[in-house]
Amino acid sequence: MPITSRILEVAAADPDRSALVGSPSEAESRAGAEGTHSLTYAQLARDSRTLFAAVDALHSAQTAPPTPAPETRDIPITAVSLTSALETSRIIAGLAGFRAVSATIDPRWPLSHQVGVITTTGIGLVISDSGVLAEALAAAGWTGTVITAAELHACEAAVDPVDTAPPTVREPSEPFLMLFSSGTTSNPKAFIKTRQQYRDNVDVSSAHLEPFPGVATLAPGPVSYSLTLYAVIESLATGGSVHVADDFDPFTMGSRITDEAITRIVAVPAVVKALAEAARRTPARFRGLDLVVTGGANLPASIRSALADVLPDTRLISYYGAAEIGFIGDSRDGDGTWISIYDTIGVDIRDESGARLPDGVIGTVWIRAAACSDGYVTGTTDAQLRRPDGWATVGDQGRIENGLLQLAGRAGDIAITGGHKVSLPEVERAFEEIDRGDRRSGQGRLGEVCAIALPDDSLGSIVALVIEPGSASDGGPGNSGMSDKAALLDRARAKLAPQFVPRRFYLLDQLPRTVGGKIRRHETVDLVMSGKAQRL
């Protein structure tokens, strides 16, 4: 492992087992790939030979190739920036058995972010169908190569298989993937995962998240998401079949689950919410689901409850992890806010000076895990990830009580008001149950909420709650009692400690979100401060 040894093993023992499966519509977009929307293990192993030969030739043909970041140990970097989840997965998996460092770049990132990471990290080959990106890279003086997916297929077809070498299991310390911690709201921070670090991560996830051999896992969404990318890696590393989709289409996913005998889904929380809504319309199509895995630590209770209501026999695991560090723990019961830490992972809560804090006190979460990256790639950030003693942090805040971890958000998710530390995600959780509607009280359905900190001369900051109206058919704030500040205050006072109770409430037609559906807290503050939200 991470995946090459298992790919070769399954290709020999069970060559027709499905490795990668895209949506049926993928066949129309894969010109030059025989119109297929799936690859068996045998096909994946065979095709990787011509894929790497074509990629290697493209790198070698450059007269002044970009210099790869020193963390790659001079291995050329190939980046994939395509909307096709199947094509991206095929390339990443195919290059895994060779001397190559691969990266996925979300084509929906701001153009400046895409150009920035490519030029800064020394990526030499970009597989992209975007002419705009190619022009921007040329204007930036980048000396690498941009090639479309169709052009890559043509290069592969021109390779004589006799002239290729087979994939092999690589050395543990060899760089494997270049990943990015961001790209939507700030400049992306790049980091490298070695093959051993990914093997260590597979050891943890296979022990707790059930990517068993032969299991069909659906991982909808861009492979540039670390959650989706890891679902592809872990499924191939354990001999499973990974079914990918460019996005989550509720009208077709039910039939795919039935037709392709999918029993496990790995998806972001927004997709889990859509899954529950789709299953409510056609529950029979989703009854084969055994397990849903999501990366949403502090998964909203409303999503957990909605899935349990419509699919009571489907288990839900929400894990906590960071792409830089790996899997840390998960929650399976109750409201999902308390995380059981995996037995191979060390967790400490520390203050700004690095001193360990007592149970119950919010501080910075520090992690010790074998899968942790060594640090960020030179030139992409000045932030420190890992200390010399092996402990690392991505800035998450949290507390430990009775051996369980509760997250309080990132540093920007903590408000200091009147000397008290207030977790803004904890404020939001107090309003989650209203999202399902309280018809008996006449309060109706509350839409999505975002707790923010606003500057205050006497307290330093105050807590405010910004509400996105629910749909009219559900009785949103614009047409129900939930637009009443008194009702909102009653709710907050019943659920929260006094310092956590919002002092102001606002309505905003639409909360700003990332491309992955996460609410942007800082942008919400900007909209409120600029007067674009209605104060209740």
**Residue 308 resides in a domain:** no
**Residue 385 resides in a domain:** no
**Residue 147 resides in a domain:** yes
Last residue of a domain, one of 197, 226, 243: 197
State the CATH number of the domain containing residue 35: 3.40.50.980
User: In 10 A of CB 63, how many CB atoms?
Assistant: 5
The single-letter DSSP state of residue 156 is H
Token pair recorded at residue 345: 């992972």
How far apart, in Å, do the first and last CA atoms of the chain sit? 56
Distances (CA, A) of 437 to 50, 407, 431, 470, 474: 56, 26, 11, 10, 8
C-alpha of 532 from chain center: 30
Domain of residue 191 covers: 4-197
- Opening angle at CA 336, ends 334 and 338, nearest 5: 100
Last residue of a domain, one of 177, 197, 217: 197
Q: How many domains does the chain have?
A: 2
Last residue of a domain, one of 197, 227, 245: 197
How far apart, in whole angstroms, are the C-alpha atoms of residue 83 and residue 127?
A: 11
Contacts for 14 with CB less than 8 Å, ≥ 6 apart: 41
**Residue 172 resides in a domain:** yes
User: In 10 A of CB 402, how many CB atoms?
Assistant: 7
**CA torsion angle 389 390 391 392 (round to 10):** 130
**Residue 242 resides in a domain:** no
Tens-digit pLDDT string for the chain (536 aa) = 569 999 999 999 999 999 999 987 654 444 434 445 899 999 999 999 999 999 999 999 999 999 999 999 999 999 999 999 999 999 999 999 999 999 999 998 889 999 999 999 999 999 999 999 999 999 999 999 999 999 999 999 999 999 999 999 999 999 999 999 865 456 789 999 999 999 999 999 999 999 999 999 999 989 998 999 999 999 999 999 999 998 888 778 889 999 999 999 999 888 898 899 999 999 999 989 999 999 866 677 778 889 999 999 999 999 999 999 999 999 998 667 889 999 999 999 999 899 999 999 999 999 999 999 999 999 999 899 999 999 999 999 999 999 999 988 877 788 888 888 888 988 998 887 554 444 333 444 567 899 999 998 888 899 999 999 864 334 444 444 445 788 889 888 988 888 899 999 999 999 998 766 778 888 999 999 999 999 98
**Residue 40 resides in a domain:** yes
**Residue 9 resides in a domain:** yes
**Residue 270 resides in a domain:** no
Token pair recorded at residue 324: 């830089």
* Residue corresponding to tokens 């789709």: 278
State the CATH number of the domain containing residue 527: 3.30.300.30
How far apart, in whole angstroms, are the C-alpha atoms of residue 136 and residue 469?
A: 39
The predicted model scores a pTM of 0.84
How far apart, in whole angstroms, are the C-alpha atoms of residue 322 and residue 368?
A: 12
The single-letter DSSP state of residue 223 is T
**CA torsion angle 276 277 280 282 (round to 10):** -100
User: In degrees rounded to 5, what are phi and psi of residue 35?
Assistant: 65, 15
